[in-house]
Amino acid sequence: MKTARLSDFNFNAATRLAVLLLFIIALGCLSPAFAQDTDRTDAQMTNTPLPTYVIRNAHIVTVSGADIDNGSIVISQGRISAVGASVNAPAGAQEIDARGLTVYPGMIDLGTSMGLQEVPAVVSTDDTTELGDINPNISTIWSINPSSSHIAVTRVGGVTSVLSLPSGGVISGQAAFINLEGSSPREMSVVPEAALVVNFPRIGGGGGFFAAQQAITPDALTARDRRIEELRRLLRDAEAYGRAEDAYRKDPKSVPRPAPDLKLAALVPYVRGQRPVIFRAEREREIRAVVRFADEMKLKAIIIGGSDAWKVTSLLKERSVPVILDSVLNLPLREDDAYDALYENASKLQAAGVRFCISTGDAGAHVRDLPFQAGMAAAYGLPKDEALKSVTLYPAQVLGVADRMGSIEQGKLANLVIADGDLLEPRSNIKFLFIGGRQIPLTSRHTILNDQFKDRK
Amino acid sequence: MKRLLTLAILSALACAVASAQARGGSQARTNASGDTLIRNATVMTASHGTLPATDILIRGGKITAIGQNLKAPEGARVIDATGKYVSPGIIDPHSHSMMDGSVNECTKSVTSMANTRDILNPTSISIYRELAGGTTAALLLHGSCNSIGGQSTTVKLKWGHPAADYPVPGATPGIKFALGENPKRSNFNIAGLGVAPRYPATREGVEETIRDALTRAREYKAKWDDYRAATARGEKNLIPPRRDLELEPLVEVIEGKRFVHSHCYVSDEILMLMQVADEFGFKVRTLQHVLEGYKVASEIERHGAMGSTFTDFWGYKMEAYDAIPYNAAIMTRHGIVTTVNSDSDERARRLNIEAAKTMRYGGLTEEEALRLVTLNSAIQLGIDNRTGSIDTGKDADIVVWNTNPLSVYSHPELTFVDGEILFDRQADIARRPALEAERKQLEQAEPNRAPLQGGTPPRTPPAIRRAYTDDDDDQQQEGEDNQR
């Protein structure tokens, strides 16, 4: 790692001169194209005008409040402009008759790598994993393929927004939060750099009869602790780098500009707790280590995985660390775990008051199964309304975008799914779909092939 | 020495846990040896519709009566299933459970001599987890590493019984064939990995490998036929042909005495295998995966093969890129006996939900969807005379569900195999505190101290079969495991 140990510096007046000497090289403006968290689904970001719609006679499951029977929703400028038992529809609004149908907010999956991997076995279609251990400065928003067949396949199942995560290394990179609509990453982007993804250093991991035995040794523990220490120092360096940048901005005449460092610059908003850091952790020991580390470093931590989260509920609640459960349908970690340990995990978190959401954890092809994973949690104790929230409002809250989506409320993005039954039931059919206020055709690679062959003699 | 002691104690722990989990089963067995009356359930028969408020009588492991207001025989256990659903036990037509990683004998392109029946592990925890998902029987298949793989075994999940009790008596034996990327090792013969390439490496090579083996089997069969005919004529001092364990099962294939269950993906290789089978005079029993079956459904129907597919698992490799979730429905509508399988110890726990998805993808009815994982599976395995539906005279392979099993909110409450309760959710939950206490006690035993407190690092059980094994997912899954 080439990062300077900036944390050793004290930026008081006495050291400014030394710093000036060290960082004498001027640098070009470092302005990442996606530096601002802007709402890219705003009307001005798209090429065609946004029509106005009024959905009538619908059963509306707002998720955030009470259901509305026989209600209406007005969509304009990409947003929900009115919702209620009766609304004033603007002149010229296109009418959608939703009699007998139910409107839900679009579902959200925070554990995907959507658009980064088309066919896992075909290496050339896989952009999930960069080389190297420390990659805070790579961002998936640059490589999301808007033409991936997974996108339409997923959205016609009612999932309208996903977080697309990089993988690999210790710091995998930054994840993009996107809507599943648009012809460029820019159009799809909701929060281009929404979270940092970290595989918290851990011992071993592989299976095998002797592997684990070799893994848990004092040497392996030392190696893990060294990697954690490296991570700690890197984050401290980023804090210092941020302070140096601030000092320079405040007084560019007398304070030197810090030498550009893309890795540290990328980390600054995360070490300041302005954006969330997603840590992958499954086992109890790892989860506790992550919570401790995040506390120490004052990070806004989210845990993804969380197979053992049910064992750590009091700690997670006390430290308000939310969990992205992407393991509902995994096999239990241990042979002697209860057969339903992971089915039940969500209901235990919910009962204990831990913030959580459910994710498929799938790269892309099977993200459409999100409602069925939430349904499985409901089959094993999670109340049905909570199961629905766990794939709509809760993921929005966990990521900090609930001001914009996750429920049917005035002013939120018009990401809406209209179904002929319970959204979580496999037998239900989706009849209408809106993303960012646009009506989306219910077609995909799969419906096209179905139409092409279903009647072939 | 210390290690040996630890190993001994940990083995004891493992045995204790396994036997404790089995304990419920053996208790239930004692009870279940008697008769059972399930009262007032909504019964989804899979053969003749859904019957409201119906009783089912189980005697001697069989369904002996279905109707209203049935009388409980003296001493019978009575289960009030008011508000609950009953379905036939789910039958998974593509499984590798109980095989503990010994799925592929991969060293040759034809391994018809290998038999899955020889390596079944009756203590595999997957069996119990699958019973807890309502699965009562499975076709255990050799993997898809080679063009002609090993022999398959049709089992009931008789948890708590010895391995010899698992195979279904009288079930037609089977063998695995495989086409496409796996037998030609497309995703494995990677330069630099040190894997020696193995013939065949093309799909035409796969066709040739199968044709070659069947040709040799036909010659071998002719030798035996000649020998037997000569013996029958009374000729003396004949030397019998040398037995060939590779070709014997293939002779059975040609004679229609052994089912071919063939792994396949794309439409042209499906057509290829059916044509080769036609030339050698047998029918392919099931096309497994058959993800592009929807493109050639008419040809499959005309050949007379059946199809066993995934509902919506797709895109994991190039040959799975044209897979669509409408496949099961399209094949069904073309008159093909179609099933949905797991090929996974994970999915095998929830095949009811995989079946339910076909109501969305292709508009199958409830009964058609249920048949995909019950009656149709039994037909494909040739055991529909004894299981696969709720009919009088069939084995009592039955699941009691909290609600409609095609609902995502369903879970099994009781699973019967041959009339025995082998999964009981309430009993399972009731056992947990005692198991937890026992586990704690064993963990605190002196030799089980943590490594950093002077203890020996624990040995973990051998790698459990990963969820997806048949396929090249082996390596992918491994990659994922390593990352996690």
Chain A residues touching B301 at Cβ < 8 A: none
- B424-458 pLDDT, tens digit per residue, is 999 999 999 999 999 888 887 777 666 666 666 66
pLDDT band at A21 (very low <50, low <70, confident <90, very high): very low
Assess whether pLDDT exceeds 70 at residue A134. Answer: yes
Per-residue confidence band for B466, with pLDDT thresholds at 50, 70 and 90: low
- The answer to whether the CB atoms of A121 and B481 lie below 8 A apart is no
Least CB-CB distance to A207: which of B295, B350, B481?
A: B481
pLDDT, tens digit, 9 for 90 and up, residues A341-363 = 999 999 999 999 999 999 999 99
Q: Tens digit of pLDDT for each residue in B331-367?
A: 999 999 999 999 999 999 999 999 999 999 999 999 9
Cross-chain Cβ contact A329/B462 below 8 Å: no
Q: A370-379 and B351-360 helices cross at what angle (nearest 10)? A: 130
Task: Using pLDDT thresholds of 50, 70 and 90, give the confidence band for residue A10.
Answer: very low
pLDDT band at A224 (very low <50, low <70, confident <90, very high): confident
- A-B interface: how many C-beta pairs under 8 angstroms? 163
Interface test with B, best of A360, A427, A429, A443 (most B CBs within 10 A): A427
Q: How confident is the model at residue A302 (pLDDT cuts 50, 70, 90)?
A: very high
Cβ–Cβ below 8 Å for B346 and A330: yes
DSSP single-letter state for residue B348? G
Rounded to an integer, the average pLDDT of A152-160 is 98
Q: How far apart are CA A244 and CA A240, in angstroms?
A: 6
Compute the average pLDDT of residues A319-344.
96
CA distance, residue A291 to nearest chain B CA (Å) = 18
**Amino acid identity, position B209:** T
- The total number of residues shown for chain B amounts to 484
DSSP one-letter code for B468: B
pLDDT digits (tens, 9 = 90+) for B66-121: 999 999 999 999 999 999 999 999 999 999 999 987 899 999 999 999 999 999 99
Q: Is B403 left (phi over 0), alpha (psi -120 to 50) or beta?
A: beta
Q: Indicate the helix (H) or strand (E) that contains B39.
A: strand B36-44
CA distance B182 to B147: 9
Q: Which residue has the higher pLDDT, B312 or B478?
A: B312
Contact A331 B187 (CB under 8 A): no
DSSP designation for A381? T
Whether pLDDT at B48 is above 60: yes
What average pLDDT does this structure show over B313-325? Answer: 97
* Span A231-258, pLDDT tens digits: 999 999 999 999 999 999 999 999 999 9
pLDDT at B196: 77
Task: Give the best residue of B324, B364, B441 to mutate against chain A (max A CB count within 10 A).
Answer: B324
pLDDT in tens, B255-290: 999 999 999 999 999 999 999 999 999 999 999 999
Question: Over chain A, what is the mean pLDDT?
Answer: 89
Q: What integer pLDDT is reported at residue B79 of this predicted model?
A: 97
Residue B332 Cα distances to A60, A219, A279, angstroms: 36, 58, 45
Q: Is the CB of residue B185 less than 8 Å from the CB of residue B209?
A: no
Give pLDDT, residue B13.
Answer: 45
- In this complex, the residue of B187, B297, B411 whose CB is nearest that of residue A121 is B187
The whole-angstrom separation of Cα A215 and Cα A51 is 59
**pLDDT higher for B287 or A18?**
B287
Mean pLDDT of chain B: 89
Q: Report which of B205, B174, B175, B173 is spatially closest to residue B189, judged by C-alpha positions.
A: B205
Tell me the shortest Cα–Cα distance from B15 to chain A, in angstroms: 11
- Could you write out the DSSP letters of every residue in B50-107? EEEEEEEEEETTEEEEEESSPPPPTT-EEEE-TT-EEEEPEEEEEE-TTSTTTT---S
Collect all residues with Cβ–Cβ distance below 8 Å to B226 and sequence separation of at least 6.
Answer: none
Measured CA to CA, the distance from residue B50 to residue A347 in angstroms comes to 32
What CA–CA distance (Å, rounded) separates B431 from B21? 8
Least confident stretch, A382-386, B157-161, B457-461, B464-468 = B464-468
Residues of chain A with pLDDT > 70: what percent? 87
A123 contacts chain B (CB < 8 A): no
What pLDDT sits at residue A207?
Answer: 37
Q: Give me the residues of A, 77-106, that contact B with CB < 8 A.
A: none
The two tokens of residue B478 are 């491994």
Q: Kindly tell me if the per-residue pLDDT of A205 is higher than 50.
A: no
A204: pLDDT confidence band, cut at 50, 70 and 90?
low
